[in-house]
Amino acid sequence: MKTKVRAEKPLGRRSQREGLRMWSKLQFRMAISFLGVTVVIVLLLELLIVLTISLILTSPLVDDVVSNTAKQTAHAYALQAAVYAGGTTLDPRSTFQPGSPSSIALPGDDSSQRIPFISDGVSYISRSAPSQTVSFALLVAPNGRVLASSYPARYPVSTPVAHLLSKQAILISNALAGSAGNMVENTSQGHVVSTVEPVRNKSNQPIGAVYVQMPTGIPGDLLLSFVGVWARSAPASLLLLLPFGALFGLLTTRGIVRRIHRLVGATAEFANGDYTQRVPVTRRDEIGQLETQFNQMAAQMIASIEEKQRLTEQHARLEERARFEQELQTAQFIQRALLPKDMPALPGWRLMPFYRPAREVGGDLYDFIPFEDGRLGIVIGDVTDKGIPAALIMATTCTMLRTAAQATDSPGAVLARVNDLLYAETPSRMFVTCFYAILDPASGRMCYANAGHDLPYRRQANEVGELHARGMPLGLMPAMVYEEQEVILAPGEYILFYSDGLVEAHNPGREMFGFPRLKTLLAEHADWASLIDYLLNELKGFTGEAWEQEDDVTLVTLQRTQTPKRQEE
């Protein structure tokens, strides 16, 4: 079933250009939006990295790490100090500076030797930084005084350590007595790890101590410095990432805009009446859902249109059927009104008509025209059409025949007159076959003429013959001449007038009943009274029970039974 392809003209070039400009602007706006999102994401990622590093540096795990580092540093310093002390005592002449290359005086030696002490995590500080908690190391003599310092600006040499580190004084005293120790102090600037390791001689006796202090938190200036570095590096990162973000945004938005543009174009064509529009579904995102719903809507629309067309055609068929039924009833009414209601009285003769219309009324007709002198006109014919047109032509023909029959006794002249009238009044494709005879009941003489109708059969004794007469159908050509013939019927003889609905009936094998079969049946059946029933039974047996009558079946039988009394006298 074909659907409506286009109801309106397609979009013009101006509309197409406007559509392209609109989609270009949309793509630009989407790219800018994507670029802005890229900037925000990059900044958030960098901020997240800073926060993560800060959390890691300020977490409790850092205390353990720094504490272990401080212990290892103090232990290393203590071992090196013990080695270079020669296993005796620390020399007050030492210029030992933990965290930087320094010298220490070996026992019994007047010179000093440069010793590269370990500097991991401990930097030499030459200036005071009272507002900060820094990493530093001290070498403490057995008398509790500072022998060497990595932070001499704040923790000078020869100063009693108890004055410098009052909270750690006990821890340092224990180390001088031979017990290492450590502590974690919570200050305003964060946690501070303090570790003390004794310096031992060869006899494993303490000859001093090494004090190492390290903060576990991030100093404020260091954190500010780190944030400053991040702030300075953020624009550079953005400048580096923005081209890639812009390119990615353009490529991404281009695909999205192309899909939206394709969907809108298909919607416009759909609105113009092209219901065959479909869009490919390439992804299962929100636009893909719209594409799927559009395809489903288009399919439902086509199904709805097809269903509407089907209902329209069904309604048209029902209306046509109702019209046909109405025409059929009208045609049947006209035909029944024209057929003779009463049979004429013919002493010494028997006359019997039979008429069975088809499903669609044909144009069969028969009529009896009585004359004042006792003669009888017999008419049988067939109009080459069906329905109301055939019924109207049939009515016209019957009227013309009756009128022409009153004007002349010649059957040929009557048919010639009716032929001219029908030729002038009826369409060229329609004509009428007609057999017209005038019977004189007294003499048995029947004069007849034939206008292309099926030849009647005459049965006399055991012979069956045809009543021949030449002539063209009525209304086919003007100024036709119709041959007249006559026969005299003897008592016992009969004539069968019939229409083509009998001989042109078909069986399921599409074999026609035919003239030879009819002639044979008439030769085998001599009983006039049962002739019509006999022929109808044979027709039914030939066509079968499921036979659908294709045309009207009309039969008229005429038999002479005896010579009229007045003629015998």
pLDDT in tens, the chain (569 residues): 444 444 333 444 444 555 556 556 666 666 677 667 777 777 777 777 777 766 666 666 777 777 788 788 878 777 777 776 665 666 555 545 555 544 444 444 444 444 344 444 445 555 555 555 667 888 888 898 888 887 878 888 888 988 888 888 899 899 889 899 988 888 766 788 899 999 888 888 888 899 998 887 655 555 566 666 666 666 776 677 667 666 776 676 677 777 777 777 778 877 787 777 778 888 787 777 887 887 888 888 888 888 888 999 998 988 888 887 777 677 667 667 777 888 888 889 999 999 988 766 667 889 999 999 999 999 999 988 777 777 788 888 999 999 999 999 999 999 999 999 999 888 767 899 999 999 999 999 999 999 999 999 999 988 999 999 999 999 999 999 999 999 999 999 999 999 998 999 988 888 999 999 999 999 999 888 899 999 999 998 998 875 667 788 999 999 999 765 544 44
Same domain, 205 and 350: no
Q: How many helices (H) and strands (E) does the chain have?
A: 12, 17
Same domain, 211 and 348: no
The residue from 217, 236, 259 where one domain ends is 217
One-letter amino acid of 195: T
Q: Which domain holds residue 162?
A: 60-217
Residue 161 lies in a domain: yes
Q: What is the DSSP letter of 473?
A: P
CA distances from 486 to 214, 409, 458, 459, 483 (A): 152, 13, 12, 15, 10
Same domain, 360 and 508: yes
CA distance 192 to 133: 8
Residue 102 lies in a domain: yes
- Backbone angles phi and psi of 146, in degrees to 5: -75, 120
Residue 212 lies in a domain: yes
Q: What is the CATH number of the domain that holds 162?
A: 3.30.450.20
CA dihedral 139, 143, 144, 149 (to 10 degrees): -30
- Backbone angles phi and psi of 66, in degrees to 5: -65, -40
Residue 53 lies in a domain: no
CA distance 195 to 214: 9
CA distance 384 to 156: 142
SS3 (DSSP) at 177: coil
| Number of domains within the chain | 2
**Would you give the distance in Å from CA 409 to the centre of its chain?**
80
The residue from 191, 217, 243 where one domain ends is 217
Residue 42 lies in a domain: no
Length of the chain: 569
Q: What is the CATH number of the domain that holds 518?
A: 3.60.40.10
Residue 128 lies in a domain: yes
Would you say 444 and 490 are in contact if contact means Cβ atoms under 8 Å apart? Answer: yes
The residue from 171, 190, 217 where one domain ends is 217
Among 444, 437, 512, which Cα is nearest to 467's? 437
Q: What is the DSSP letter of 374?
A: S
SS3 (DSSP) at 560: strand
Cβ within 8 Å of residue 475, ≥6 positions away: 419, 422, 423, 425, 426, 430, 431, 432
Residue 247 lies in a domain: no
Same domain, 549 and 409: yes
Q: What is the DSSP letter of 553?
A: E
**Residue 432 exposure: Cα atoms within 13 Å on the Cβ side:** 36
Residue 553 lies in a domain: yes
CA distance 182 to 19: 77
> Which pair of tokens denotes residue 507?
């069986």
